[in-house]
Structure 1
Amino acid sequence: MGEVRAGGEAAAQLSEAAQSELLELCEEQFAQLEKLQNEIILCGPDICASPQEQSVNRLLATDAELKQWLSVQPSLLAANSEILLEAGKDEMLKLCSDLEMVVSCCEAKRDKLRETKELEHKWLEEKKQVLLAANDHIERLRVEKEKYSEQNVFLDTKAKIKKMTVYQEKLMESLGDILEKHAPLPQDESSASRKKKNIPQEINEDLISLSEILEVLMNKVINTPHDPYITLDHTFWPPYVEMLLRYGIAARHKENNFKIRLETFF
């Protein structure tokens, strides 16, 4: 309807001679269209045995039509300048509408690219900040590495070992005090008390304390871990040895009952 209304408005602006000439051209085109339509109707349908033959025929027909259009010489729509002017105006309006649509699409694409550019710029700034932070961290580590040289590490380790040795000595002293208080060596008592308790008359004076037994066991494990057993002799008081074995502090050799070692506590 819009095209018909635009064509009517364009025809109203033309002179009578131009209108009559335009009408004659339209009648000629309609007559040619009717002729072609009648020829198509009268022409029988293309019946082929196989779809492949139909495709070949259509291809040949299309090729022939293309050659015909290429051989046709372009001609003017009409000789009247008023008709050509109106036709040119109509084509220019259509072209302007198409160009406006293209401009709108380009502007939308430009806005999208601008938004993408802003996001990429923001991402780049964040990565730059991360890179600066990483470089600062690397520089700080390098300075710390130069500050703590091998000599400093050696001195630090030596101080820690000394501290641990002092702490171990304090622990051993505390352990000795506790064992001396709660597990003292056997002492000579009166004959009446010994008879009452059925304790032998003679007590070996070479007996070592419980703390010394533990120290011997620990030193043996540390110095010779492949052979942690010690041999029991007359200096080891049997009740102490039995107490260590009973409470799981020491373990007896499987083949030799006179050898014990410190139990593994892990």
Structure 2
Amino acid sequence: MVEEGAEGEVVAHLSKAAQSELLELCEEQFAEIEKLLNEIILCEADSCENPQEQSVNRLIATDAELKQWSSTEPSLLASNSEILLQAGKDEMLKLCSELEMVVSCCEAKRDKLRETKELEQKWLEEKKQVLLAASDHIERLRLEREKLSEHNIILDTKAKIQKIKVYQEKLLETLGDVLETHIPLPKKESSASKRKKSITHEITEDLISLSEILEVLMNKVINTPHDPYVTLDHTFWPPYVEMLLRYGIAVRHQENNLKIRLETFF
């Protein structure tokens, strides 16, 4: 209905002579179209039943028609300038309408891109603020780390070492008390026999306690881990040594029976 209305408008703007000439051109075109339609119908009725051969024939006919149209020189729609002018105006109006639609689409796309750009800029600003906050935090941590001087680090390390030493001494004292209570050194016993007295005196003289033996073994392992063996002498009471060896607390040297070391507990 819109197209018919536009054609009616075009005809209404033309003079009577131009209108009659345009109607004659339209009748000639309609007659030519009817003729072509009749020829197409007749050709389809006489077409072969083989679809492949029919397709080849249509391809050949289309190729021939294309060559014919390529060699044909274009001609004017009509010789009347009034008709040509009106047709040009109609085409221009149609083109302007299409261009307006293109402009409208471009503007919508531009608005969408502008909205996307604003969102991206907002996101970028937020990321910049996060980066700035992280940079400030890193700088503050760096300044705090620089404030911790080497002297403070050494003092802290010394304090920790001192705590460990105090704890070690406390453990050693506790161990010594337990060993002294449950495994004391042999004491002198009064006897009328002089021989017994001399033997007892011989046994108990210059002997060290079990806790002292353990302390000697531990200090040897800590101070000289490459040579942890301790040489036995008269101060080591043999029953204590035998007890340490029997319960797996100490180990005897493989080549020298007078040397023992603390067992590696791991």
Please, what TM-score do these two structures have when normalized by structure 2?
A: 0.72
| C-alpha deviation, 1:81, in angstroms | 2.6
Q: Structure 2 vs 1, CA of residues 63 and 256 (structure 1 numbering), >3 Å: closer, same or farther?
A: farther
Give the 4+ runs in structure 1 shifted more than 4 A.
12-15, 27-42, 58-68, 75-78
Tell me whether 1:84 sits opposite 2:85 in the alignment.
yes
Q: Deviations over 1:184-217 (max 9, x none)?
A: 112234669xxxxxxx856332221111111111
* Gapped regions of structure 2 (runs ≥ 5): 44-58, 193-198
Q: Which amino acid aligns with 2:105?
A: C
Q: Write out aligned runs for 1:64-213 (5 A).
A: 75=76, 77-81=78-82, 84-85=85-86, 87-189=87-189, 203-213=203-213
Q: Deviations over 1:60-119 (max 9, x none)?
A: 997896676xx758x57442536633x344324422331232123213322331232133
Q: Distance in 2 between matches of 1:169 and 1:231?
A: 24
The corresponding residue for 1:237 is 237
Q: Tell me how large the CA RMSD over aligned residues is.
A: 4.0
Q: Distance in 2 between matches of 1:169 and 1:260?
A: 23
| C-alpha deviation, 1:218, in angstroms | 0.8
Q: Distance in 1 between matches of 2:78 and 2:149?
A: 96
| C-alpha deviation, 1:222, in angstroms | 1.1
Q: Secondary structure at the match of 2:260?
A: strand
Q: Secondary structure at the match of 1:256?
A: coil
The corresponding residue for 2:225 is 225
Contact 2:187–2:204, Cα closer than 8 Å, also in 1:
no
Q: Secondary structure at the match of 2:208?
A: coil
Q: Write out aligned runs for 1:249-264 (5 A).
A: 249-264=249-264
Contact 1:18–1:83, Cα closer than 8 Å, also in 2:
no
| C-alpha deviation, 1:229, in angstroms | 1.3
Q: Which amino acid aligns with 2:212?
A: E
| C-alpha deviation, 1:241, in angstroms | 2.3
Q: Distance in 2 between matches of 1:130 and 1:242?
A: 71
Contact 2:245–2:252, Cα closer than 8 Å, also in 1:
yes
Contact 1:78–1:84, Cα closer than 8 Å, also in 2:
no
Q: Which amino acid aligns with 1:79?
A: N
Q: Which amino acid aligns with 1:160?
A: K
Q: Which amino acid aligns with 2:124?
A: L
Contact 1:217–1:262, Cα closer than 8 Å, also in 2:
yes
Q: Deviations over 1:124-163 (max 9, x none)?
A: 1232123212221222122123211222222222232223
Please, what TM-score do these two structures have when normalized by structure 1?
A: 0.72
How many correspondences in the alignment? 253
Contact 1:184–1:209, Cα closer than 8 Å, also in 2:
yes
Q: Distance in 2 between matches of 1:64 and 1:26?
A: 23
Contact 2:188–2:204, Cα closer than 8 Å, also in 1:
no
Q: Which amino acid aligns with 2:249?
A: I
Task: Please say which of residues 218-227 and 244-253 is displaced more in the overlay.
Answer: 244-253
Q: Distance in 1 between matches of 2:153 and 2:188?
A: 55
Q: Secondary structure at the match of 1:118?
A: helix
Q: Distance in 1 between matches of 2:120 and 2:71?
A: 53
